Amino acid sequence: MARKSQTRDRGYGIFLVPGVLLFVLLVFAPFVANIALSFTRWSGVGVPVWIGLANYQKALGDAVFWASLRNNLALIVAITVIPTLIGLFLAAFLFDYVAVKIGKRTANVFRAGYYLPQIIPVVIASVVWRWMYQPDWGVINYVLRSIGLGALAQNWLGDASTAMASVMVVMIWFQIGYPLVIFMAGLQRIDPELYEAAALEGASWFQRFSRITVHLLLPEIYVVVLTTTIYALKVFGPIYVMTLGGPGTSTIVAAYFSFKNFFDRSQVGYGATIATVLTVLVLIITIFYVRIQSRQQAWENQ
Amino acid sequence: MAPMALPTTFTLENLINTWQKVDYTNKLLNSFYISLASALLALALSLFNAFALGIGRLPGKTFFLIFFTIAITLPNEALIYPLYYMFKEIGLYDTRLSVILILATLNSAFGTYLLASVFTAFPRELTDAALIDGANKLQLLWRVVVPISMPALSVLFVFFFIWTWNEFFLPLIFLVSNSNQTVPLAMAMARGERGVVITTQSAAALLGVVPCILFFFLFQRTLTRSITAGAIK
């Protein structure tokens, strides 16, 4: 085995050394150490005490932990479900209405505009949204009051009943550009004759959209859905900046809850447990993603 | 200025005040230094890895690629405490180097994944010809593979740079002293100060966003093309 790999290696193996070395040191070892810590009680100083599965049992009965997972689910709606749907409609609209009737340049300007939030550091965007939501002088309440809808003014991020919805709005705004760009690129691949044929057969715009566009964009839809779901599970910055998980636990998410246990409450073992559960959830989706990608590649190579 | 009233005067005073108050020059330099160093290191690591896996077609290629793919999606929380502890022990905690090393390694996972698939399609005749002419592996990489893969490499560089520039979690944990902080970190922290005037805060946000928007317009075409390439391939 070793001899065989050496003869096939022909001097390329050495190029893997720096990358793999750093990877083992800075990713693999910490990853394993974190899993090990999840079976211990540790404050960050002294020696960790092995407590078996106690942290996992604690998580199962912990209302805050479940609240954080529910909020991650809400973020999947805001980051995956809604942007994918809006992205599909917008991409189709820009592609076969704006680009055709008004011009390709205009469609490209719109696409760039929708994508712009994606390149701004999400943390800074969150800082700005925080002021917009501010109850006394924030622009949202200001506009509501000045058009006579002062009754609708809220303490958007400070009230447990509106906080999560307000965070979701920010994430939708932030996220729409990503599916849009991917779908518009995918649309280039579709043969315009298909649309012409369908139009001749008397198919309505919506029928063409649902039967042709959505069907042919399925590979892109898989990619968008899976990558954004992974992202939704990992959200940290916007929560840290806008709400710190509050009020109460109304906007707490798994990543922030784990951070809080690590660095605020010195419950390193429990923090590691939550991080491990989060990792397992992410890995399950990653496995789906890898399988679908390899199936697509196999299909393309045929 | 009352917050409810419309602005009455135009002034650059707030921008200048904020610039000085948060020592924006220092934050900008930190962000630039960390992003540049980390992007270059990540690019070098990805290039070496992908050269061995994609051009060299080492046995176990699939294993390595799965290994790296999983790393792309790992939540940072699953690594952060052991990293924090480790860097404290070796005395690199609260240094820009710590963030550069960690982000470069994490980003090189994506780079390896992308470049390896680009290199798998690299014309065999070219590499074989170079080797027959007596080039060693390093010359093959530097004289043949790198020049031809320039488009893919530059896209990756832009990606790495922006990702590092926008990163929040790792700098939050690792860069505790004020003089090491990056632009997003300083902006997020500025909100905590009491009695900060709204216009000053707006100026701060503007200063935080401008570098990204500049970057966006500089690389708009490369970027939109590459987001799709990165996602589908």
Query: Mutate which of B81, B107, B122, B233 to test chain A, going by most A C-beta atoms within 10 A?
Result: B81
CB contact under 8 A, B80 and A262: yes
Residue A112, helix vs strand vs coil: helix
Give yes or no for B75 touching A (CB within 8 A).
yes
> Which residue in A15, A220, A283 has the most chain B C-beta atoms within 10 A of its own C-beta, making it the best mutation to test that interface?
A15
pLDDT tens digits along A203-226: 787 888 888 888 888 888 988 998
Residue of chain A with shortest Cα separation from B231 = A223
Instruction: Give CA–CA dist A195/A41, Å, rounded.
Output: 62
Span of A90-99, A126-135, A234-243, B85-94 with lowest mean pLDDT: A90-99
pLDDT at B232: 42
Q: Which residues of chain B make contact with A22, given a CB cutoff of 8 A?
A: 45, 101, 104-105, 108
Q: What CATH number corresponds to the domain at position B163?
A: 1.10.3720.10
B7 at the A interface (CB within 8 A)? no
Give residue B215's domain range. 13-232
Digit-coded pLDDT (tens) for B43-85: 999 999 999 888 887 778 888 888 887 788 899 999 999 999 9
CB contact (8 A) between residue A220 and residue B232: yes
Contact A167, A239 (CB under 8 A): yes
Whether B1 maps to a domain, the answer reads no
* CATH number at A59-301: 1.10.3720.10
Partners of A40 in the β-ladder: A50
Residues 209-228 of B with CB under 8 A from A: 209, 212-213, 215-216, 220, 223-224, 227-228
Total structural domains within chain B = 1
CA distance A52 to A41: 9
Question: Which pLDDT belongs to residue B198?
Answer: 63
Residue the block writes with tokens 């900046």: A241
Kindly state whether B61 is in contact with chain A, defined as any CB-CB distance less than 8 angstroms: no
Q: Does any domain span residue B206?
A: yes
Comparing alpha-carbon positions, the chain B residue that sits nearest to A217 is B232
- Long-range contacts for B209-216 (Cβ within 8 Å, ≥24 apart)? B209/A120, B209/A121, B209/A124, B211/B28, B211/B31, B211/B165, B211/B183, B212/A119, B212/A120, B212/A121, B212/B162, B212/B165, B212/B166, B213/A116, B213/A119, B213/A120, B215/A119, B215/B158, B215/B161, B215/B162, B215/B165, B216/A116, B216/A119
Six token digits for residue A221: 């839809």
Domain definitions of chain A by residue range? 2-37, 59-301
Quick: pLDDT tens for A72-106: 999 999 999 999 999 999 998 888 778 778 888 88
Contact A179, A88 (CB under 8 A): yes
Asked, for residue B5, whether it belongs to a domain, the answer is no
Contact B76 A234 (CB under 8 A): yes
Q: Which residue has the higher pLDDT, A140 or A294?
A: A140
Q: Is B206 on the interface with A (CB under 8 A)?
A: no
8 A C-beta contact, residue B117 and residue B51: no
**Hey, are the CB atoms on A26 and B83 less than 8 Å from each other?**
yes
Q: Give the pLDDT confidence of B179-193 residue by residue, as tens digits.
A: 888 988 888 876 555
B77/A278 CB distance under 8 A: yes
pLDDT reading at A6 higher than 70: no
Residue B226 confidence class, pLDDT cut points 50, 70, 90:
low
Question: Does residue B3 form part of some domain?
Answer: no
Query: Is there a domain that residue B7 lies in?
Result: no
Nearest CA in chain B to A222: B232
**What pLDDT does residue A59 have?**
92
Domain membership of residue B110 (yes or no) is yes
Structure-block tokens of residue A98: 């704006």
B2 lies in a domain? Answer: no
What percent of chain A stands above pLDDT 70?
95
At A148-190, the pLDDT tens digits run 887 788 889 988 899 999 999 999 999 999 999 888 888 887 7
Q: What percent of chain B has pLDDT over 70?
A: 80
B227 lies in a domain? Answer: yes
pLDDT > 50? residue A62: yes
Of A47-51, A274-278, A295-299, the poorest mean pLDDT is in A295-299
pLDDT band with cut points at 50, 70 and 90 for residue B225: low
B58 CB within 8 Å of a chain A CB: yes
What confidence tier does B1 reach under pLDDT thresholds 50, 70, 90? very low
Structure tokens at B220: 């708009």
Q: Rounded to the nearest 10 degrees, how much is the dihedral formed by the CA atoms of A246, A249, A250, A254?
A: 100
pLDDT for B8 equals 61
